[in-house]
Structure 1
Amino acid sequence: MTSPPDVIRTERVGDEDKIFVITIDRVERSNAFDSATARAMEAAIDEFESDDSLAVAIVTGAGPTFSAGQDLKAAALGDFATTERRGGFGVMALRPSKPLIAAVEGDALAGGLELCLACDLIVATTTTRMGLPEAARALVAIGGGLFRLPQRIPFNVAMELALTGKPLPATDFHRMGLVNRITEPGGALAEALTLAGDIAAAGPLAVRASKQIAQHSFEWSDEQAWTEQMTYARPVLTSDDTQEGLRAFAEKRAPVWKGR
């Protein structure tokens, strides 16, 4: 089973085109992923990662559904939504070093939720449902959901989702802290763009370092963290941008970042 080349669309938006919007466009398959879609997503993530003018990316879905996960019809033919380098959906195993926001309209189930968990921030709507239905179908969620979800919501709630396969409304995930912002239906992308704009206005080196330290924090003991964080923080603290940030604060003006 193959997909046309435009199953992943990209657009540069915002002030100075610093925001990269990645849209999954397989509406006829509820934005489910096959291998071609995963490769297209990997290419989009690679473009985002390699372009220093891009500060933050948003992943969203065309049509009424964010993503139904793995395309099961494709899977039945041996066509799985993974790439050798970035893994599931072209992003789950090797995430970008810069921030990634999920803008979720409609449902994010199975791999759709796992795609959200590969992102750093999530914006969803009052009608969005999220869950891991795999066990109810005699499948196992292997896109990161079973080890990332318990890190981001209470363990017992993650267990209920994993073992029953029943979804919960995004409003519950918002209450538990997984979803950053809730909007009315149709407003997820606009709210994600507002959030992305706030990130794009911050110092790009500091944003990237902050993401890396936070992600690695789960691997470090408290004692290790004091030393290990400096691997990422030291180049920022000695950068031109840090000096510019301090000057701009003292002079009560907006900073002009150079990314160095």
Structure 2
Amino acid sequence: MNPIKTTRNGAIFEVTLDRPKANAIDLQTSREMGKVFAEFRDDPALRVAILTGGGEKFFCPGWDLKAAAQGDAVDDDYGLGGFGGLQELRGMNKPVIAAVNGIACGGGLELALSADIILAADHATFALPEIRSGTVADAASIKLPKRIPYHIAMELLITGRWFDVHEAHRWGLVNEIVPAADLMTRARAMAELIASGPPLVYAAIKEIVRDAEDAKFQDAMNRITGRQLASVDALYASEDQQEGARAFAEKRDPVWKGR
């Protein structure tokens, strides 16, 4: 049984991690997720992805400790894109929405952090409990202090304590809290809105954000204005760039072609 279910709905690509009982990720599952997200990245017909978990209790608890006990090494080859197939996937210039439908802890929370937008069910809970098993939440140690206040991030990393969706929203970790029954409806509505927009602009935004993360402002601006970023160069030379200007002048909705 394939633990990864995918659905195409026009330009929207839904990815469901469905590996009972808890949607934990072992090496095989991680490698499969990498292939799935690479498929999304490389298909020009797809513009936005939704990642969620199967069932109502777990989004993802992260690394499968039972598989680890049976021989899966924590430092083994997770496949294309690293753990969960998303957080280290090169050239991922399309928007990804995480629809967190339940518990997101450890690597599962790190997976959600790899998305661009996080919607969470009203019963979702979060934690980085790696400290309790004598290891480090490596990706979260890099990302979390950049996403929420430093001292809060450090507390969560050092204590491994659980926190609910309302606290996550208060710190800006999730965009919206949604009743569980409405989570996928809301995620699909947001995906449809994004899919109707200019894909080349989204690609430029994502590459600029990545490139500028640790750069000085002027250095980042020089790379943009110098058209040193592939996605920005493609945007400025595109039909869509001209179409946007024409549509504005003609007071009509633009028709985006992604070229």
| TM-score when normalising by structure 1 | 0.92
Residue of structure 1 in register with 2:240 after alignment: 241
Does the 8 Å contact 1:56/1:200 carry over to 2? Answer: yes
| Contact 2:101 2:183 survives alignment (8 Å) | yes
2:252 aligned residue: 253
**Which residue type is aligned with residue 254 of structure 2?**
P
Residue 58 of structure 1: which of 8, 32, 50 is its match?
50
Aligned position for 2:32: 40
How far did 1:187 drift? Answer: 2.2
The match for 1:20 among 3, 13, 16 is 13
Shift of 1:115: 0.4
Q: Is the 8 A contact 1:34 1:80 kept in 2?
A: no
Are positions 1:116 and 2:108 aligned together?
Answer: no
Deviation at 1:193, TM superposition (A): 1.3
Residue identity in the other structure for 1:199? I
Deviation per CA, 1:54-111: give whole Å up to 9, x if none. Answer: 0011110000210011110001122157524311122222252211111001110111
Q: In 2, Cα distance between the equivalents of 1:214 and 1:45?
A: 20
Distance apart, 1:131 and its partner CA? 1.6
C-alpha contact 1:108 1:129 (8 A) present in aligned 2: yes
What percent of counterpart residues are identical? 42
The answer on whether the counterparts of 1:105 and 1:186 sit within 8 Å (CA) in structure 2 is no
1:107 counterpart letter in structure 2: I
Give the alignment of 1:28-177 within 5 angstroms: 28=21, 30-64=22-56, 65-80=58-73, 82-94=77-89, 96-142=92-138, 144-177=139-172
Whole-Å separation in 1 of the counterparts to 2:115 and 2:143: 11
* SS of equivalent residue, structure 2 residue 50: strand
Tell me if structure 1 keeps the 8 A contact 2:31–2:80.
no
CA distance in 2, matches of 1:37, 1:109: 17
**1:155, 1:137 → 2: CA distance?**
23
Q: Is the 8 A contact 1:171 1:182 kept in 2?
A: yes
Offset from partner CA, 1:113-139 (integer Å, 9 cap, x none): 000111111000221111201102222
Tell me which residue corresponds to 2:188. 193
SS in 1 for 2:88: coil
Corresponding letter in the other structure for 2:126: M
Query: Mind listing any 5+ residue stretches in structure 1 that lack a counterpart?
Result: none
Give deviations 1:176-201, integer Å, cap 9, x for gaps: 22211110123222211122112111
Q: How many residues align?
A: 251
Cα RMSD over matched residues?
Answer: 1.5
8 Å Cα contact 1:89/1:115 also seen in 2: yes
Instruction: For 1:76 and 1:139, locate their aligned partners in 2 and report how far apart those are by CA, in whole Å.
Output: 15
Residue aligned with 2:118, SS? strand
Q: Is the 8 A contact 2:119 2:175 kept in 1?
A: yes
CA displacement, residues 194-216 of structure 1 (integer Å, 9 cap, x when unaligned): 22112111111011111111122
Worse-matched range after superposition: 106-115 or 129-138: 129-138
